[in-house]
């Protein structure tokens, strides 16, 4: 896998209060990933981009919500989230 492919799989980190506490307590990080990415590809991309060792990867699908702006109704797109658990001693600096 090349870095350009890895950047297409890993879209952005998710920095929320919950994900920050998971980083501190469980050494796990959340990333928004491409919809067609599987766990093996995500693990390889994270190890290539951040030069860390990944212990395991969990994925989840966040369904899009219905929103309304005035009289217009629309649905936000669904996203795929990867929860990446790192091995002891590995750390990602996201800031």
Residue 37 has a pLDDT of: 95
Residue 95 has a pLDDT of: 73
Task: Provide the residue ranges of all domains of the chain, joining segments of one domain with +.
Answer: 3-86
3-class secondary structure per residue, 25-80: HHCEEEEEECCCCCHHHHHHHHHHHHCCCEEEEEEEEECCCEEEECCEEEECCCEE
Sequence-distant (≥ 6) Cβ neighbours of residue 13 within 8 angstroms: 19, 29, 30, 31, 32, 94
On whether the 3-86 domain is CATH 3.50.50.60, my answer is no
Query: For 19-77, what is each residue's pLDDT tens digit?
Result: 999 999 999 999 999 999 999 999 999 999 999 999 999 999 999 999 999 999 999 99
Distance (Å) of CA 40 to CA 51, 70, 73: 16, 43, 37
């Amino acid at each position: 896998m090349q870095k350009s492919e890895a950047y297409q799989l890993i879209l952005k980190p998710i920095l929320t209060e919950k994900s920050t506490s998971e980083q501190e307590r469980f050494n796990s990080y959340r990333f928004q990933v491409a919809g067609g990415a599987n766990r093996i590809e995500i693990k390889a991309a994270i190890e290539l981009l951040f030069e860390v060792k990944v212990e395991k990867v969990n994925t989840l699908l966040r369904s899009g919500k219905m929103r309304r702006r005035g009289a217009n109704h629309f649905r936000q797109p669904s996203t795929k989230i990867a929860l990446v658990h790192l091995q002891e001693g590995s750390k990602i600096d996201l800031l």
